[in-house]
Structure 1
């Protein structure tokens, strides 16, 4: 991918507990199996979970980028699954909302990754706080994870509404998790599309796929191993692999200004607000 940008996409949700981080980890694994160079950024900066799901104990994380003299390369951590992670901190309140200087510092640091990766997956926090909006705005694509629960649908719509009305984001990809069958996935997706069509004009929602309820997923989480490695033949693993192949077909933007800042620079001039 020498003449194009890396594909930068967020995995996001309006509501916590929908399996977003678990899906991020497994998508990173599947894309790496496809021969892609993948970095997974844990962008839930105050409540990190990527390292926990992988059973890793990083000595450095993004907190140290801002508060100690370390580089992004020093923070990058190899996993046993062919991809690297940028771990975040957990229980550090000052990381919940980055200030402008920290956003600039992170932008400059991420620029160094451009020639070394094919995919940057950004696992955001849940909700509509400034960090969630910041990282969603910085991505080329936004993969919205939801479940059939009414609260998940309501909160997913709220996130879409804020990104659309305040920041002009109109395209979202959708992955429905924890479904009992494909029919339920299509019904859940249709409800979200219906709400957006009725109340928001110009929003495009593309269904990437669905992940079934699967006991193998729970066992994998307990064992701190991605389900696609723990039980590759399980229904959930097969569904995630199918979603990764869809993502693998997404087109990256043409390289127009020479670096990854093309995706991030607009954030320097437009601070997200949830007020």
Structure 2
């Protein structure tokens, strides 16, 4: 980390984390950021716990090496399958001065405020849903809340292939929304537990009764990070405040740039991630 200007690292397996990154950078524009998308190995959703942990740890360590004392896993699958292991096994032994945060806990802490019926839906990748991370984490804060889960394995591929605005997406949006709503007539709030899914919000809302609220995580995570930095000046003071944003991908740069502009609403020029080893 010598001679490197410190940044807040934001990691995702692909492009979805850019929706969280966008909210964070809008809320806290003064800081330096490095975004890393592991597009070469995306999507993470169907990989085993061990594989997701290994991939996530490699990317987190890469961000540490590039001067990030704090890394946000802007990826639900990585937050579900890797965050706890990294926090409990790797940080204390090898990186005691670094911090890694996820997207599940900040969401779980406030989700109960959005439902009157105490019934919420959670839509995510197969990996996130199978991990049961959301019901477990939510139960700590809202023990009476009923959580109905639905995996949506086709949504990320549709979005990553730029088909989310087309008619092809309609079929799979309708299919998964209907499957979720069949689980309970009382659902009044749906959490999009994958950072890709905000791009499908217009189509998702078309399939829902008006009274059902749809929550995406960007704003929630941004507010939680602002609070975290306020409570942890020892981390906050390490991060440079030059409002600089740098983007890296393990995949093809041109593809990343084209997709990233869709997620961010602005043109960017990414760099190629070169592995530490």
Normalising by the smaller structure, the TM-score range is 0.3 to 0.5
Q: TM-score, normalised by structure 2?
A: 0.36
